[in-house]
A and B are shown apart, each in its own frame.
Chain A
Amino acid sequence: MSTSTRTVEPDLDRTLASFERAIFAPTVDEADLRALGSRDRVLLYRELVRSRLRDLVASALPRVTTTIGRPALDRLVDQRLSHAPPTTRFFREVVLEVVDPIAPGLASEAHPHLDDLARLELAQWRAIWDDRTTDATLVEFDFGKRPVVSPTMTRLELDHSVHLTDRPIERGRFHVAVYRRRDHVIETRWMNGPLAAILDQWRAGELSAIDGVRAAMSSLGREPTPEIVDQMSSLLAELLERGGLLGCRAQ
């Protein structure tokens, strides 16, 4: 099969470049508009392209949008589009390209939890369509074998309780896992520090499940108390049932 090449068409490519600048440049160059002819219609395209992408981000981050208001979100998205237009052909991935770089700077005095909320909603958005799969040969879960966690799982360390939607947001240290269940429902699982440490060991998949538990406890300087063992058993059963934990590697 031949390698893809494009014949250079200088006039055509100049026109398209002007058009693209008119859509994505921070401010519209009047010279571009004059070269393109129908000024209002080119500006219409700028609005159609940008509003479609703004709508996408707003739909993916509904709580961020509600918190700061649609006009503020639109300004953030517009700024990002002007700085870095989408480079993915997959519409769903535009949300990651736009929000990932700006999420860390979203927290403000009025909304100190906003970066956490954006990270949480991004993880939930990605889990909906994430197609990562494991190449491991799977067997049933066995504490003597290396566990395989769903590749759709994202672990988050949050400084605000943005995952708890039924109460006011509080400051603290919250360990959360987001993953897609077998039935395609997105699960947001809150857990305590010991369970998060165990799950992180299982996600790494380098140690057997039981050695992962030991390593997690060692890293925390704790013993696996009966309470922790009970909690771990509940988490294990839940993850296996819902598809957060796929089983273990055969080898």
Chain B
Amino acid sequence: MTRSDDERTKRAPTQRAHGVGLGLRHELSRDLFEARPAEVGWVEIHPENFIGRGGSFASMLDEARARYDVVTHGLTQCVGSPDPLDATYLRSLRELLRRQNARWHSEHLAWGNLGGRFSHDLLPLPFTRAAVRRAAETIRELRERLEVDIAIENASYYGHPGEAEMNEIEFLGEVLEAADCKVLLDVNNVWVNSKNHGFDPRAYVSRVPAERVVQLHVAGHFVRTDGLIIDTHAEPVCEGVYTLLEHTLAHVGEVPILLERDGNYPAFSTLLDEVRRLDAIRTRVRDEARISALPEIRA
């Protein structure tokens, strides 16, 4: 056996997330690992929560790798941030991705750090050509350094900084073209933004280039008394998001769906009910697509 063969056998199988996954959180891990529900097909992690971290999180990741395909979704390397990329961190991230034979890694189309200071939140980018150039430059560099495809997530935003030169879906489209990258389409974020900023979420989804979509996110949100919706990931998924997911799947085809839950955790069985409903939507849309394709196959 050559050294490279040996190296390959030590790695996990190539990342092949399929069906509905769950965000791996410390608060959920015990229930997930004990119950090992068939409905959960894969898990997603935030690498920042595991890189350079000892203790129970290291064990949790080992256990997750043994049981599930693990997909990574970054929080702090937003592609719109102006700071140079952190080579040390990216080496650690690349190592983590290699251990999982990752096919893609996702980050947010937002910004979060400036001058070495981190906000630990997703801040909105202006929809400008300069921001497109900045994001595309970062994505290309990330792809080169991490040696995997980069998918960017459409972020929720509550206000647009400065003057816009285009709307949100045009901005997303220009970045995807300029960087030639993948997209992690967050259905909840489309929904939240459509309500907060007044656009048609179905029309938005229909303009997303389906061939670039590698993954979907679904989550719950909080509606303030003044009507503003905050993307909390701490509430049940709402009916509007389920409906939009169905429309999204019909447009993009079958891609892995991730349920994000980051707080206000319900009983695990309640969370599994949401996973089952997502899977039922996925299955229904897939079957409908197969049926509608039948006449063409016969012809």
Contacts and interface: CB of A to CB of B under 8 A. Distances in A.
Contacts of A11: 128, 130
B31 interface: no
A87 B118 contact: yes
A88 B113 CA distance: 10
A30 to B, nearest CB: 15
Given A1-B145, A6-B134, A16-B82, A42 B159 contact: yes
Summarize B's interface: helix, strand, loop or mixed: mixed
Given A42-B159, A45-B123, A52-B120, A6 B83 contact: yes
Interface string B134-172: 100100010011000000000000111111000000000
A94 B120 contact: yes
A45 B119 CA distance: 10
Given A15-B161, A86-B120, A89-B113, A184 B85 contact: no
A131 to B, nearest CB: 4
A131 B137 contact: no
A102 interface: no
Interface residues of B, number: 50
A27 B53 CA distance: 35
B121 interface: yes
Given A5-B84, A130-B55, A85 B133 contact: no
Contacts of B49: 91-92
Contacts of A23: 119, 123
Contact of A91 (B48, B58, B126): B48
A130 to B, nearest CB: 6
A45 B121 contact: yes
A109 interface: no
Nearest to A41: B159
B54 interface: yes
A133 interface: yes
Interface string A112-145: 0000000000000001111111000000000000
A186 to B, nearest CB: 9
B161 A19 contact: yes
Interface in A41-63: 41-42, 44-45, 48-49, 52-53
A4 B141 contact: yes
A20 B117 contact: yes
Given A12-B126, A49-B119, A184-B55, A7 B76 contact: no
A53 B54 contact: no
B242 interface: no
B117 A129 contact: no
A146 to B, nearest CB: 23
Nearest to A48: B121
Contact of A24 (B89, B117, B145): B117
B104 interface: no
Interface of B: 48-49, 51-59, 75-76, 82-87, 89, 111, 113-121, 123-124, 126, 128, 130-131, 133-134, 137, 141, 144-145, 158-163, 228, 230
21 contacts: A6-B82, A9-B82, A11-B128, A12-B130, A12-B134, A15-B162, A16-B123, A16-B161, A45-B158, A49-B119, A49-B121, A86-B118, A86-B119, A86-B120, A87-B116, A90-B51, A92-B53, A127-B55, A129-B54, A129-B55, A180-B55
